Chains A and B, each alone.
Chain A
């Protein structure tokens, strides 16, 4: 009623209005995007698709599983647990006292039998159990800047309590991780000849090149009241201290292995290896186990059946599900998009 102007016409309105182009029409511009009509694929999971998908997964998974299992089975592994063995029987009542006593000779000899032929390279690992390298206080206690460059040597704020010495000069490398560096050593011999363990190149090249400075030298390391582990050669730069570099890659889980070195020779089946272990590292205060591991490797890594079994299981499950669904579809088919299945058609009385 409020419209003004002489042209207002109720009965004759119509085409004449729309023909004249409105200059400032606010009509939204049509585009497939704004009208939400972009061409799109609308996948619907038909029974055929489902059965095919499950079957396909089964077909892919089972061979993978088998291959993984075979690879894992190919790996030869020698594990020697020595945290108790290496303590003289008379000292076993007080392992902690024994290990903490700096004067005792902590060497012990073990003999390992090679179960199957092990082709070079044979990897030598030490394995610690119940060692929480992922403990919050531990993980945080490091200074990556300090490791990289000597100019950041004083950057030890995160390293508490192993940040500075009593007189305030920084510890390099600082922090609990470095402080607790593993210091057991292994010397292998076969038939009384020394078996060379190559501990060069056990750390990642990226770490050696970029993360640990070649001009950063250990300083004030292990000078405190409590010795945590290995000492470092202050003349060697950190980038060459490969056991430190390996150690500084903190393990994700409380049971972990770390690479000690490689044996470049093949080991024959039933060969006897003699290992001289310097049992220095204190795992006794937290009941940790120590193991020496010699292992070959496969395309999949070390010996672990889990992945293979898992793949085979799930692959089998998928075949099973495909069958179940096939049966269901066979006995209770439902035509797709049949309006008679709409809820109001099923029970017309309403909800």
Chain B
């Protein structure tokens, strides 16, 4: 199992720790054409070109170890990059670095500019891990064998899953039993079923048979219809999905034919056209691109919108003719697993040649093929075994916390019920036992014998059976103790709450024109108890839009003075390419002075510097420009695709100033420099790594110079600047950088160095040596990079804004004040995560950061221990000092995905949990989707605290589903997160009104409503019970059956629902002003067992008052059963409603109407019932209403019953006021209008856009 663990993601970099390679792990060298622009020549050149053209060091070294290498004619050059990639082990890093690969995979120097053609490449690091990962030979037993284009043979030994997918839960036949089974998971439903069945027995028929089944049947039916509809929709989407078609290679004639997705089998070869979705996971064999590159968009998979590159192996590519491969080969790959960033396989050809395949050779189901005409691959996983299906762990139905804990009280009530029924039946038995048998016969009210001709008994079954029947009958009579209506009321209330949440203008997102969405209707109240928020970063906290904001060139700060983009087409950057107009997709506000400088005639040093600066921006990156068609004919938008949004922003910025990157191929780039297309050769690239914190490109410029452009973090750049440059300039730039970062901008410093011929050649040979070295390549490359990245000329600095979403820092601050811990889980790099942490005020400078970034279990254990010790010390200090909050030093834990691999699902988990809960902030970076879920589970499984996950991408889906409450941001990245979520909204900051206001209200309302429902029904049951004592324990009810039925339907239900939907304990202003009021929900103040017990005690008292006041008044009187029944009914209804009225916080006209209306409706109902001459109680109420004692009783009952509650409430409010209570008082008596100066400032809600 361990090998299938999805969270296993090897670490990215191990500096300077080369590992030894075993012979079989030596990769097949890639096979790569030199230039994509001139494929044919490069191709032939490579295939047939002489070996002497290049330094064939690597080949020579490899031959003795692996003779098969000879097979590949292209073994000479691009070994480092290609093989690394092909060997790239599981891990997100490999995906992220793909773009680096594009440019550096087959670097070439154009022969026009340089005498010799060389292919050079470098990778920042990762060799050792990559190799070690590939060394892991796939276990024979655990492997699956796929025979190329031979599904028969592939599925011969073991039938792999077909490509048919099923996300629906039910079929036509399984619907009824399964749905019922699921519905009856609610204990209450089983209870009502039993009651209904009992009532069917003739001996126990207390109510009519149909009537007793009706409520349950209605509830079941409504739910079933809802479920059926949802499942029908799933069926429909499954059907659409399964019936999509794709081209599959037919074995007989080797032609591609259309085939339905569901019929595809493992081992078949499919051809996917551009913009088509992959039907299954397939190993790429060939693509339309001669270099075997294909671009895919993985938005459905991990939520990332940028294009990823995938490669077909050169070997397979060369075998394919028009995509058709007829060679016999077998792929041996690992069993299906959930790791979408990992894939291990190798491919063996007939002749025994072996190739190893990595995650960059596989395209997964759900990806979309982009910018590639077609791609052919062989299916390795299909249907339910695809990684995307394995990752969609289904939508478990969530149950609200309140409802779960309600079950405990339901059990309590059941015990009450059993106690009552036992008491009744026991007393009845004793009474029966005490009677003489003969007496029973002639007792006028208890006739044991029928005295018919047959002389049988009249409904008498012997003492024990009678007791049993009496027990069951009392269960039926008292069944209302467990309020079934509560479940319906809860549904209604949630519906109402959802309505108001959806309609709240504060939760409406203008930018995406989306309202709040309630997708799960049964966890509204959980929003009021959240203790942990797990947030995605990109697209959730940030807008996922980078903005170039500031430039500092030559010590001058340019910040966008004047605008040019609004002036219309004249100023718009547009480039003519092949008769078409290309425009950058995103336009920036360009600084007018800077533009003027760039356009000024003549050569000034300033202009030169600005020129180089923008050249650096345009060149020093791994961005691929993709022209996108627009509706306008002949106009294309250049979409800069890249892994790093920062780089995108820089390239867009360069484009705005007239340096438009038009083309990037493996060996060169084309930049339109102020209207003039120039071709730059990329001679080498030193990738970004976290030790150097900079990257560089070596560019051969059109003017025959060779330059190194370097960009990097300021800390790493200032050290490598040329000593000769003006120190004033450095100081000025530094001060600008400081001001940028204090503005929350992400800063980068650009440098440049012109290489002399000698320097270049020195570098080139070093570079070649390093990149072909087998041992310590990363170290060598780094030192090569170090050599070239020195003595730099400072070009300038940039400030890029990773635009936080509006109001995020404030929202996080509010959440923190509310006692909610915000954890950020991101796939980003650690540095990015920390910088975002600062800019969204998650991290503050007074925090002590604990960074765990370990690469082994032992290292993790050690750092966890150390961190825990630190946290404990901190805690001790805090305890010891007992001083107010200022003295403590909050801890921030920063942990990366690599460490989590060793921690999650091991015994270290508990240590992480203890540490993490001791920290104020937790930041997890570089985490995989399932690790996100793992972290949520870490908290969810160990505490009772409510967890909430919020994210926008498909990579957040597992986390969203894992958390108690999942929120999807309907933002830039597809709909996956939204589809999986319980609630969806447009912006992160909506979390504040959602939790603090709606969550609080929902929780408070629901908690109160549940308790009130318990009380309401229990009062009624107790009244019935008291009466039974005076009715010879024969469960007679003075209250008519009709009133019993209507009690929870008409007499009392409406106000509860209204209060549950509309009541507000505190206004939204106060809730936003004092976020800590949210603590009431976290502490579960509105609903806890203690409250339940008090409520039940109150219930006993109130029921006793309702029963005994009329009892003592009419103990010896002519009042008959229906009159007294009516009095009791009316009394209990008025009491219960006044009780509710006493607790209502806010009386709007609706509340008034509901409450008083209900009482009036009750009176009407009672009158109507008493106007039916067929009922024994005919006209009783009208007779009774004439008696003064009736009214006096009613008044007395209501007042007396409520006095204890009122008194307790009074004393509690005065002596131990809750925060909510004070908030309400402050709202009413410390109105802002009274103290305008002070309070208006305070009242300025943290996040409160102006209401219209």
> B-contacting residues of A (Cβ < 8 Å)?
1-6, 8-12, 18, 22, 24-30, 34-36, 38-45, 47, 50, 57, 61, 64, 68, 125, 127, 131-139, 142, 144-145, 148, 160-161, 166, 176, 179-180, 204, 206-207, 210-211, 224-226, 228-229, 248-259, 282, 285-286, 299-302, 304, 306-307, 310-311, 314, 317-318, 321, 325, 328-329, 332, 334, 336-339, 341-344, 348-349, 351
Contacts and interface: CB of A to CB of B under 8 A. Distances in A.
Contact of A337 (B444, B565, B1148, B1222): B1222
A47 B1149 CA distance: 26
A317 B1204 CA distance: 11
Contacts of A328: 1211, 1214-1215
Given A9-B586, A39-B1148, A176-B447, A252 B508 contact: no
Nearest to A18: B510
B1189 interface: yes
Interface string B1215-1252: 10111001111111110000000000000000000011
A133 B445 contact: yes
A132 B1149 CA distance: 47
Contacts of B1210: 45, 50, 325
Contacts of A179: 444
B1115 interface: yes
Nearest to B438: A285
B1142 to A, nearest CB: 9
Contact of B1151 (A40, A251, A300, A329): A40
Interface in B566-614: 566, 583, 585-589
Contacts of B1147: 40-43
Interface of B: 299, 305-306, 435, 438-439, 441-447, 449-453, 458-459, 499-500, 502-505, 508, 510, 513-515, 544-545, 547, 560, 563, 565-566, 583, 585-589, 628, 630, 632, 635, 637, 645, 648, 803, 882, 884-885, 972-973, 1030-1032, 1034-1036, 1038, 1062, 1064, 1068, 1074, 1076, 1079, 1083, 1109, 1111-1125, 1145-1151, 1173-1176, 1178-1179, 1182-1183, 1187-1189, 1192-1193, 1196, 1199-1200, 1203, 1207, 1209-1211, 1213-1215, 1217-1219, 1222-1230, 1251-1252
B1207 A321 contact: yes
A39 to B, nearest CB: 7
A76 to B, nearest CB: 16
Nearest to B470: A136
B548 to A, nearest CB: 8
B1030 A254 contact: yes
A337 B1225 contact: yes
A176 B444 contact: yes
Contact of A304 (B1076, B1113, B1120, B1122): B1113
A136 B439 contact: no
24 contacts: A1-B306, A34-B499, A36-B1068, A134-B1032, A137-B447, A176-B447, A226-B451, A250-B1120, A250-B1176, A252-B1124, A253-B1115, A255-B1115, A255-B1116, A257-B1117, A285-B442, A301-B1189, A302-B1117, A304-B1116, A337-B1222, A337-B1229, A337-B1230, A339-B1222, A343-B1218, A349-B884
Given A137-B445, A342-B1074, A3 B882 contact: no
A27 B502 CA distance: 10
Contacts of A45: 1209-1210, 1213
Contacts of B1076: 342-344
Q: Most B CB atoms within 10 A — which of A125, A136, A161, A224?
A: A136
A142 B1175 CA distance: 10
B587 A161 contact: no
Contacts of B628: 4
Contacts of B449: 161
B1118 A28 contact: no
Given A45-B1213, A252-B1114, A259-B1118, A2 B973 contact: yes
Contacts of B505: 27-28, 30, 35
Given A28-B515, A206-B1179, 11 more contacts: A34-B500, A41-B1146, A134-B1121, A160-B450, A204-B1179, A251-B1118, A255-B1116, A299-B1188, A337-B1222, A338-B1225, A342-B1076
A187 to B, nearest CB: 21
Contact of A1 (B305, B435, B514, B1062): B305
A22 B513 CA distance: 9
Contact of B884 (A5, A180, A210, A348): A348
Contacts of B513: 22, 24-27
Closest 8 CB pairs of A and B: A180-B444, A337-B1225, A337-B1226, A136-B1034, A206-B1179, A138-B445, A34-B503, A252-B1124
Contacts of B972: 1-3
B589 A11 contact: yes
Nearest to B514: A26
A336 B276 CA distance: 67
A303 to B, nearest CB: 9
A161 B458 contact: yes
Contacts of B1146: 40-42
A226 B451 CA distance: 7
A258 B1188 CA distance: 19
Given A6-B637, A35-B505, A41-B1146, A285 B1227 contact: no
Contacts of B1192: 64, 68, 300, 307, 311
Nearest to B1123: A252
A306 B1175 CA distance: 31
Contacts of A250: 1120-1121, 1176
Contacts of B1068: 36
A46 to B, nearest CB: 9
B563 A12 contact: yes
Contact of B1113 (A6, A11, A228, A307): A307
B1251 A30 contact: yes
Given A135-B446, A166-B453, A286-B439, A42 B1227 contact: yes
Contact of B1173 (A50, A211, A228): A211
Contact of B446 (A11, A40, A137, A341): A137
B432 to A, nearest CB: 12
Contact of B1030 (A35, A125, A166, A253): A253
A42 B1231 CA distance: 13
Given A1-B305, A307-B1196, A12 B587 contact: yes
A26 B446 contact: no
Nearest to A8: B586
Contacts of A207: 1178-1179
A8 B443 CA distance: 92
A28 B508 contact: yes
A88 to B, nearest CB: 22
Contact of A42 (B1035, B1207, B1224): B1224
A36 B1064 contact: yes
Contact of B1125 (A43, A50, A252): A252
A341 B1222 contact: yes
Contacts of B1031: 132, 134-136, 254
B553 to A, nearest CB: 18
A108 B1046 CA distance: 50
A307 B632 CA distance: 90
B1178 to A, nearest CB: 5
A67 B948 CA distance: 63
B587 A11 contact: yes
Contacts of B803: 10
B472 to A, nearest CB: 13
B1148 A40 contact: yes
Q: Most A CB atoms within 10 A — which of B588, B1035, B1188, B1223?
A: B1188
Contacts of A254: 1030-1032
A132 B585 CA distance: 91
A311 B1251 CA distance: 53
A79 to B, nearest CB: 9
Contacts of B585: 8
Contacts of A11: 547, 560, 565, 587-589
